[in-house]
Amino acid sequence: MTTTRRAALLAAPTLLLGSRLARSQGSGTGAWPTRPVRIVVPYTPGGVSDITARLIAEPMAAAMGVAVPVENRAGADGVIGTEVVARAPADGHTLALVSVGHPVNAAFYRLPYDTMRDFTFISLTTKTPLVLCAARGFGPSTPAELVAHAKARPAGQVTFAGTGGVVRLAPVLFGQRTGIEMTYVPYRGSTQAHPDLIAGRVDIMFDTVPAALPHIQAGTLKALATTGAVRAPQLPDVPTLGETVAGFEASTWGMVMGPANLPRPVLDRLHREITAAVTRPEIVARHRALGAEVVTSNPDETRGFVQAEMEKWGAAARAAGVQPQNAG
């Protein structure tokens, strides 16, 4: 046997193994990503979820070597854009950056997807507490005083402004935990509710810190409590509601997810790149300026968190008599 033929025979198994590895990588794990990784934000531009997506897109793109475009697909409180991701191929090239509306929508709508089963949960990105606020002239100035005020009046006489979702349900949860009953006054958004709240035409509101903070700083609203696990950096002198009502927490938040059954290597890479991006000091600082705190979680923790949120807000919605409607 010639030296050339012997070398060819010895090299054959290595060439075969290399061919198999190449086919394996081309199947969607080792070679990932093979094209742009889009982040669908199922809300209008300008909110915290949209801002987060745009902030993390650039460092993710630099790390992965592909474009990371952000696509706003608003409608039906986030259902339309979320369905796009539920129906996308499970190859890691389509993600969603959603809010607390994802589990809350299960209580409000008959959804075209399953909130838990149809998604792979990757990581939390932010938490933003609510603030329990009222007009400067409203009598109670603490949660305990509010409870006493409500109990001294006919059930339902105290009113709260709500704009849907967790802002609608947080007062219901507060009422459940404290034994008071309040009347819901619906508004399309915070900007529509604030004039009536400031004028005292509605008593209280659980609003996001970024939305209410300018009015609190201007002195036209007062903050009774915030609803995060710890005091809000923007309102360090305002107690958390959990300091009065043990275990109470109600926040809006951001979370990245993909279609169900993402391959584990892809999931691990996405988790690594997302958490590395969102925890960059300049991105943490930008979120803090918006009233949000950066948080991260592993995929198992994220799934457990979403499941707990779904159960908590589902129970509050049932207590409020919410009947699921068709989305759209």
Does residue 302 lie within any of the structural domains?
yes
Total number of domains constituting the chain: 2
**pTM of the entire structure?**
0.86
Does residue 17 lie within any of the structural domains?
no
Does residue 18 lie within any of the structural domains?
no
Q: Are both 142 and 228 inside the same structural domain? A: yes
| pLDDT tens string 178-224 | 999 999 999 998 999 999 999 999 999 999 998 999 999 999 999 99
Site of tokens 């993600």? 95
Phi and psi torsions of 114, nearest 5°: -95, 125
Among 216, 243, 270, residue at a domain's last position: 243
Q: What percent of the chain has pLDDT over 90?
A: 86
Q: Are both 86 and 134 inside the same structural domain? A: no
Q: Are both 79 and 115 inside the same structural domain? A: yes
Phi and psi torsions of 109, nearest 5°: -130, 155
**Contacts of 294 by beta carbon, 8 Å cutoff, 6+ apart:** 125, 126, 278, 279, 283, 284, 287, 288
d(CA 205, CA 313): 17
Among 210, 243, 276, residue at a domain's last position: 243
- Confidence bin at 236 (pLDDT 50/70/90): very high
Contact between 194 and 185 (Cβ < 8 Å):
no
* Residue 34 burial (CB count, 10 A): 13
**Contacts of 277 by beta carbon, 8 Å cutoff, 6+ apart:** 55, 56, 59, 60, 63, 283
Does residue 121 lie within any of the structural domains?
yes
Q: Select the more confidently predicted residue: 38 or 18.
A: 38
- CATH number of the domain that 228 lies in? 3.40.190.10
Q: Are both 305 and 319 inside the same structural domain? A: yes
Does residue 85 lie within any of the structural domains?
yes
Does residue 28 lie within any of the structural domains?
no
Q: What is the mean pLDDT of the chain?
A: 91
Contact between 206 and 250 (Cβ < 8 Å):
yes
pLDDT of residue 11 exceeding 50: no
Domain range for 308 is 38-128+252-323
| pLDDT tens string 54-77 | 999 999 999 999 999 999 999 999
Among 243, 277, 296, residue at a domain's last position: 243
Which residue type does 133 have? Answer: C
d(CA 76, CA 74): 7
pLDDT of residue 33 exceeding 60: yes
Nearest to 259 by CA among 72, 121, 59, 104: 121
Contact between 50 and 42 (Cβ < 8 Å):
no
**Contacts of 97 by beta carbon, 8 Å cutoff, 6+ apart:** 39, 40, 41, 49, 50, 52, 53, 125, 254, 255, 256
Q: Are both 269 and 229 inside the same structural domain? A: no
DSSP type of residue 240: B
d(CA 172, CA 107): 14
Phi and psi torsions of 274, nearest 5°: -65, -50
CA distances to 8, 79, 115, 251 from 14, rounded to whole Å, are 10, 50, 46, 55
Does residue 313 lie within any of the structural domains?
yes
